[in-house]
Amino acid sequence: MKWARQLRRKGGADAAAAVMVALLVGYALVDPPGPSPSWPAWTAWPVAAVVSFPVALRRRLPRSMLAAGCAAGALTVVAGAAAAGALSVSFLPTVLVLYVVASTASAAWAVAGWAACLSAAVITILIFYAQVLPGLSPVATPSELPPHWPVEIGVIGVLLTAAWALGTAVRWKRDTTARLVRHLAEAAVGEERRRIARELHDIIGHSMSVIAVKATVANHVAEARPQEVRAALSVIEQTSRSTLTEIHRVLDLLRSDGDPQQAHVLVPGMADLPELAAQARSAGVEVDLTVRGEATPPPAVAVSVYRIVQQALTNVVTHAGPTRCSVTVDVDEREAAIEVVDDGPRHGARHGARQGRRPGHGGHGLVGMRERAKTYGGTFSAGARPDGGFRVAAHLPYDLDGRPA
């Protein structure tokens, strides 16, 4: 009910504004700068109340109150109840309501309201000076502000135009801010989707590569070496279970922020690198893992390091295995450096396609690793080695809060 409280608070402010405007209009009718109205003096306050009433409801019924305020001001002038020399005061409530209309309604409504009110004011002021003013009793002493219709029309024209322009500017700013907020929200959603897609690609790509390799081995030695088949199935079982756990973890990220289950979601990090290397070894890759540095990187950096190593090992298993591979991770308080180097396929059968790729034009795996490095303002390189094999290197600079350095 927050909006209801805001509406009541704004309604109270509008009521107070209506009272203040009524006092101003009533004072102008009681003590005008020009000839006094022909109506009795006591009618000044009821007339001021009627003219100012639309200000109190301008936020609830802006268009209706604009029409009512303009009509009340015009009738007051034409009927001779307005103050000569201060006719613009009778349209002051119309000015306040026009601002609300211009700031909340469409541009067409704002322009139409401004044009209608200005036309009504000009016509009624001309009628007043042509028919009403000649019948009023002249003032005893000359006024500092003698009645003059061009001045009256100019004042009310400036006031109405200023209200319309200010309201239009407020509406434009509000609309621009709303569009910017929507754009930022859509960009955040798109970035989150891309991040989750990269996570799923890394998880599924790595695990399915290991499963495919072990299934191929089991299929070839099923009759000759059943013990190897059992060992391969065991690896497939463990890999598939861990993959399901990882997929559930990533999908849990799609839950709402207030979901208490997110507190129990485990995120992979540096401590999980040995298990990653063990999975690659089970797929026939001799992995030599070296982690140097006693610094503990922030969780976001640790996840990025884990994913880059995971995708690099997935490429080795898919394109070069069985082979030998060295993984080196250096972490200090300012930077995480990753290097994954393999010796290439032992029989040279499957490496040609990957060696033919140019760095920067690889598949989704290389793109994902490059994007992770770019997130931290780091560098990434991947390409064939002159003496055979493939090398992947990434540097992720960061500060202690896990943000790009």
Residue 402 belongs to a domain: no
Query: What is the band of 352 on the pLDDT scale with cuts at 50, 70, 90?
Result: very low
- pLDDT for the residue numbered 329: 94
Instruction: Examine the domain organization and report whether 265 and 298 are in the same domain.
Output: yes
- pLDDT for the residue numbered 83: 75
pLDDT in tens, 208-244: 777 777 777 677 766 677 777 777 777 777 777 776 6
pLDDT mean over 255-276: 65
Query: What is the band of 366 on the pLDDT scale with cuts at 50, 70, 90?
Result: confident
Q: Choose the final residue of a domain: 162, 183, 204.
A: 183
Highest average pLDDT, of 105-119, 142-156, 238-252, comes from: 105-119
Handedness of CA 186, 191, 192, 196 (dihedral sign): positive
Q: Which whole-number Å values give the CA distances from 339 to 11, 66, 284, 364, 375, in the listed order?
A: 66, 71, 20, 19, 18
pLDDT at 138 over 70: no
Instruction: Examine the domain organization and report whether 173 and 216 are in the same domain.
Output: no
Contacts of 336 (CB under 8 A, 6+ apart): 297, 301, 304, 305, 329, 330, 395, 396, 398
pLDDT mean over 183-197: 71
Residue 189 belongs to a domain: no
Residue 348 belongs to a domain: yes
- pLDDT for the residue numbered 379: 92
Instruction: Examine the domain organization and report whether 170 and 314 are in the same domain.
Output: no
User: Rounded CA gap, 17 and 337, in Å?
Assistant: 66
Query: What is the band of 405 on the pLDDT scale with cuts at 50, 70, 90?
Result: low
Instruction: Examine the domain organization and report whether 125 and 163 are in the same domain.
Output: yes
DSSP reduced 3-state for 249: helix
Phi, psi of 397 (to 5 degrees): -75, 145
- Cα 251 to chain centroid, rounded: 23
Instruction: Examine the domain organization and report whether 31 and 100 are in the same domain.
Output: yes
Instruction: Examine the domain organization and report whether 210 and 178 are in the same domain.
Output: no
Instruction: Examine the domain organization and report whether 100 and 127 are in the same domain.
Output: yes
- Cα 189 to chain centroid, rounded: 9
pLDDT at 95 over 80: yes
Instruction: Examine the domain organization and report whether 211 and 248 are in the same domain.
Output: yes
User: Rounded CA gap, 56 and 66, in Å?
Assistant: 11
The number of domains in the chain is: 2
Q: Is 249 within 8 Å of 262 (Cβ atoms)? A: no
DSSP reduced 3-state for 326: strand
Instruction: Examine the domain organization and report whether 90 and 203 are in the same domain.
Output: no
Instruction: Examine the domain organization and report whether 151 and 278 are in the same domain.
Output: no
Q: Which residue has the higher pLDDT, 146 or 392?
A: 392
- pLDDT for the residue numbered 395: 92
Element (H, E) at 197: helix 149-220
Residue 95 belongs to a domain: yes
Residue 188 belongs to a domain: no
pLDDT at 356 over 80: no
- pLDDT for the residue numbered 116: 92
Length of the chain: 405
Can you read off the two tokens belonging to residue 189? 């959603």
**Which parts of 320-387 fold into alpha helices (H)?**
352-355, 364-375
pLDDT at 263 over 50: no
Residue 404 belongs to a domain: no
Q: Is 299 within 8 Å of 337 (Cβ atoms)? A: no
- pLDDT for the residue numbered 404: 61
- Cα 90 to chain centroid, rounded: 44
Residue 263 belongs to a domain: yes
Can you read off the two tokens belonging to residue 338? 């990753």
Instruction: Examine the domain organization and report whether 138 and 256 are in the same domain.
Output: no
Q: Terminus-to-terminus CA distance in the chain, angstroms?
A: 44
- pLDDT for the residue numbered 115: 92
pLDDT at 262 over 50: no
| pLDDT above 70: percentage of residues in the chain | 73
- pLDDT for the residue numbered 3: 45
Q: Is 56 within 8 Å of 18 (Cβ atoms)? A: yes
Write the CATH number for 387: 3.30.565.10
Q: Which residue has the higher pLDDT, 156 or 205?
A: 156
Query: Which amino acid is located at 309 in the chain?
Result: V
Q: Is 309 within 8 Å of 337 (Cβ atoms)? A: no
Mean pLDDT of the chain: 77
- pLDDT for the residue numbered 382: 92
Residue 257 belongs to a domain: yes
Could you list the residue range(s) of the whole structural domain that residue 308 is in?
Answer: 194-397
Instruction: Examine the domain organization and report whether 268 and 169 are in the same domain.
Output: no
pLDDT at 272 over 60: yes
- pLDDT for the residue numbered 166: 94
pLDDT mean over 159-166: 92
Can you read off the two tokens belonging to residue 201? 């690609």
- pLDDT for the residue numbered 169: 92
